[in-house]
Structure 1
């Protein structure tokens, strides 16, 4: 067996022994050893392989798989620009704490800088975005000593990716320089492999791993217990929760209001209208506890920057850094049991109840203040329509904010969003991966038209690939609606806004999705059409809208809710 084939099979075997159940592969020549090894492993029932034609899409698919499964997921690519195309997903995984493994095939080091095709200096390409970057030696022999080193290298990068090495989970790179020959020289690989051809499992005649089939190096996960925060539990306290952070324990709140973003595991226990109430002076807290990493609301940023408010942070037990954009955090620790004044808790509860009713009235009034902001009503309906056990993936920009501003928090729904770097990259692929790994029910993705177009290849799934039950609800307002709500959307910039910020495309989204094999419908207004359905396959629901009144509608809604 040649060295490239041997190393690839050992690496895949060690990944499987360490708990990897899914892998993503993008086609190429230099990564042929990995391609054959992964195909062989799937044919032997050792893992599930997902093949994608585009590396950026493939990387976000792997990220979604890892996000929903809680397991590390490798994406194997060829050399050159293929590696660079992983960078957006690597950055998202880095800031979101997701165990993404970039298996980057490479040319032998002596070819770097010689003008060889598809050859760049790709070792360490991701810089500080990865938890670890390792480069294997060019495999020249298949001795037991070489096999041991290969397995040990895999164990180290997996420990870094999963946080068992002591830091926060995140992406890693394993660069694999392969020399010719790149194809197996023993048994064929892929779905045509028979028991007789496969020999003794994946490895053929190579040395196997440890007895019992476990990982080569057993690495225990470190236990990280934070001390309780040194705050006054009886003070008027607001808890703010974003992505990540500690596991939810609503009993610790003691009646304190909770402003939780939809992607936070604390969201089911959130005060629904908290984002609208944060600037009310009579509801101003004396202290705030930040759980995880909130990123959505400017009102939260203003509150955390207030020198009169004592700010504390609980980043959770996985070693992630604490959030402190304004530099006001006084201490880092674990959220203790709170017991704020009863009058404080009652004031927030009463305000939330009053404002929730006013919000629903505004959303339900055809010519009311929210009429020009259809995304708000859509977000509320999408959340309410999902069956228990479903998974909701939210696109960045307006959809995740619309859910935060309009939807009623609920249990029975797993909500995810790429909030690590909060880009619109790879959203369809992330949702596809999350749907393939989610066992509780079907998945729905709520996003805008530009976010969909940004990941067009995410709509493409080959005929041999696993297809999820995924309903995509796209608000099609032909452009970037979020910019209407920012400073550049003001009247002073109207002369240049539409071309350089609104960026209409005129693309027929329905035709695009149909060409990729999706079932497409236009929303009739019936909330039932927005629900994810088991067994529905790939389904796209287009919601036609306009952006022209969005800025004024949000302003009118703010005024109406302030009056309420």
Structure 2
């Protein structure tokens, strides 16, 4: 057996021993040793292999698999720009704490800087986005190095899962392979059994530790508002009002209209004395303004994995474990009364077809999904629409790429989540997010196919900018071309070209039937207009204020 083949087979075998159950592969020549080894592991039922033609798509598919399963997932590429195309997924994994392993094949070091084809300086290519970057020595013999190779894999898996300390996140294992790159006739499929270890166990067993943080020095009985984002940890909140983003585990306990209430002037009398931040909230400007208020004491709960806390305004006074809260009952009741009034007014307003289509779609979709479903929310408007309009509910696994909040790779992330999730899977996307990852729709005939329904709000451009400073009336002359970025893509034709099921929904009353559980990859298109988005949100803010003001005044 040639050295490159032997090294690749040992690496894949050790990854399986470390708990890897899925791997993503892109075709190439330099990564041929790993490609053969991964194919053999798939054929033997030791892992499930997913092959994709585009490295950026492959990176986000692996990210979605890891996000949905919580297990490390390797994505294997050939050398050169193939590696660079993993960078967006690596960045998202880094900031979201997702265990993604970039398994990058490389040329032997003597070829670097010689002008050899598909050769770049790959060690360190991801900078500080990775928890660890390891470049292996070129294998020069097929025997005698098994322990070294296995130890290297165990170290990288420990880093990717956070077992070495710190948060889980991406790791690069860079593997220079010398020719020959393909197995020889008569080669065994797998390395010989290793001695002195239990069957199937890793070469080096590494257990992940947990941090124990000191209790926060806050007043548990003070009026306390909880702000929760993705990664929120469990805490005894004592009934305190919670404003949670949909991709937070605390969302089912959250106030329905929390982000709206923070922008209502009449709520000033209910301003909290202190705020407890769980996870990484990033969605809403009223939340960020509250956290920046110097008159409000802000505390952050530490993640046991050691993930860094969120403190954009630099106001956090301490980071630690949350004590059991017991805020004043009358203050909590006042918040809940305001929320009930705002929610009723919102629902009444959203029943009107003239209100923003994205908000109405998010409310309808999250109500229609079956218990046990997974939902991936696209960045920009969809995740905000869900937060502003949907009724918080248990029974759903809601995920989003909020590490760096990009729109790239979302189709592939959702496909990975669907392949890892035991129940039905859905995604709510905007049209530009879909078009940014059209290669995510391409699944080869021999590949595991996700059961995934993509619900796409097609307003033919970038709706989010209508709600930002760029959407102000004084920028009208330039807005549509450079921010609205209109397009004329026929999504039905795109689905026909890629073999994806397609249905168009013209009436939201038909949405539950359109998203009813069905196997395969499908796209449900809901067409919308962007023109009244800014005015529509302003009108809803006025509706909430009108509903809340008399409740607060009467309380």
Q: TM-score, normalization: structure 1?
A: 0.94
- Tell me which of 358, 379, 385 is aligned to 1:402: 385
- Tell me which of 400, 407, 412 is aligned to 1:417: 400
- Separation in structure 1 between the aligned mates of residue 470 and residue 109 of structure 2, nearest angstrom: 48
Residue pairs, 1:232-271, within 5 angstroms = 232-246=219-233, 248-249=234-235, 252-271=236-255
2:471 is the counterpart of 1:484:
no
| CA-to-aligned-CA distance 1:240-290 (integer Å, 9 cap, x gap) | 0001131x35xx121211000001011111011110111320221010000
Shift of 1:315: 3.2
Residue pairs, 1:511-530, within 5 angstroms = 511-525=493-507, 526-529=509-512
8 A contact 1:385–1:527 mirrored in 2: no
Find the residue that maps to 1:202 and give its secondary structure. Answer: coil
- Separation in structure 2 between the aligned mates of residue 287 and residue 529 of structure 1, nearest angstrom: 41
- Separation in structure 2 between the aligned mates of residue 237 and residue 501 of structure 1, nearest angstrom: 39
- Separation in structure 2 between the aligned mates of residue 533 and residue 391 of structure 1, nearest angstrom: 14
140 and 85 in structure 1: CA distance in 2 versus 1, 3 angstrom threshold:
same
8 A contact 1:210–1:216 mirrored in 2: yes
* Number of the residue aligned with 1:454: 436
Shift of 1:534: 3.9
**Structure 2 unaligned blocks of 5 or more:** 548-555
Residue pairs, 1:56-455, within 5 angstroms = 56-144=56-144, 146-187=145-186, 199=188, 202-203=190-191, 205=192, 210-246=197-233, 248-249=234-235, 252-279=236-263, 280-367=267-354, 370=355, 373-439=356-422, 441-455=423-437
Find the residue that maps to 1:216 and give its secondary structure. Answer: coil
8 A contact 1:442–1:533 mirrored in 2: no
184 and 206 in structure 1: CA distance in 2 versus 1, 3 angstrom threshold:
farther
* Number of the residue aligned with 1:23: 23
Shift of 1:562: 1.0
- Separation in structure 1 between the aligned mates of residue 102 and residue 366 of structure 2, nearest angstrom: 34
208 and 124 in structure 1: CA distance in 2 versus 1, 3 angstrom threshold:
farther
8 A contact 1:2–1:181 mirrored in 2: yes
Residue pairs, 1:474-553, within 5 angstroms = 474-525=456-507, 526-529=509-512, 532-553=515-536
8 A contact 1:520–1:539 mirrored in 2: yes
| CA-to-aligned-CA distance 1:430-473 (integer Å, 9 cap, x gap) | 0000000001x101100000000000100000000111110110
When the two chains are superposed, the root-mean-square deviation of aligned CA atoms in Å is: 1.3
**Structure 1 unaligned blocks of 5 or more:** 189-198
8 A contact 2:365–2:512 mirrored in 1: no
8 A contact 1:61–1:430 mirrored in 2: yes
Find the residue that maps to 2:454 and give its secondary structure. Answer: strand
Larger displacement relative to structure 2 (305-314 or 218-227): 218-227
Q: TM-score, normalization: structure 2?
A: 0.96
- Separation in structure 1 between the aligned mates of residue 540 and residue 183 of structure 2, nearest angstrom: 64
- Separation in structure 2 between the aligned mates of residue 529 and residue 383 of structure 1, nearest angstrom: 10
295 and 349 in structure 1: CA distance in 2 versus 1, 3 angstrom threshold:
same
Shift of 1:208: 6.6
| CA-to-aligned-CA distance 1:408-443 (integer Å, 9 cap, x gap) | 00000000000000000100000000000001x101
| CA-to-aligned-CA distance 1:22-49 (integer Å, 9 cap, x gap) | 0000000100000000000111110000
* Number of the residue aligned with 2:14: 14
Shift of 1:535: 3.9
